[in-house]
């Protein structure tokens, strides 16, 4: 299934710039709390991208599987989502 990833690609380019900025901050031995704040901003941006991707998946792939005739596909897609959340909650 084809998706429009333009917004997420733009967000990733911004994250990429922030990561380079964090690297420069470390190289310049800047204040640790400022670096941590930038790391949190990157994490929030990545979480937004993840949420966008999940929304797209739920409204396309999952909907197709639920409305489809194949019970194994429904089970597979639901299990996949569960596994993603289990993995995300591991530290």
CA gap 71, 65 in Å, rounded: 8
| 58 assigned to some structural domain | yes
The model's confidence at residue 88, banded by pLDDT at 50, 70 and 90, is confident
1 within some domain? no
Q: Which residues contact 29 (CB under 8 A, 6 or more apart)?
A: none
Domain around 47 = 6-88
Answer yes or no: is 49 within a domain: yes
CATH number at residue 31: 1.20.58.1000
pLDDT tens, 18-71? 999 999 999 999 999 999 999 999 999 999 999 999 999 999 988 999 899 999
What total of structural domains would you count in the chain? 1
């Amino acid at each position: 299934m084809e998706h429009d990833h333009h917004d997420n690609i733009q967000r990733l380019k911004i994250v990429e710039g922030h990561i380079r900025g964090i690297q420069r901050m470390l190289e310049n031995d800047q204040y640790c709390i400022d670096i941590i704040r930038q790391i949190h901003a990157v994490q929030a941006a990545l979480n937004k991208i993840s949420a966008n991707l999940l929304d797209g998946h739920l409204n396309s792939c999952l909907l197709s599987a639920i409305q489809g005739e194949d019970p194994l596909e429904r089970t597979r897609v639901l299990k996949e989502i569960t596994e993603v959340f289990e993995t995300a909650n591991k530290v």
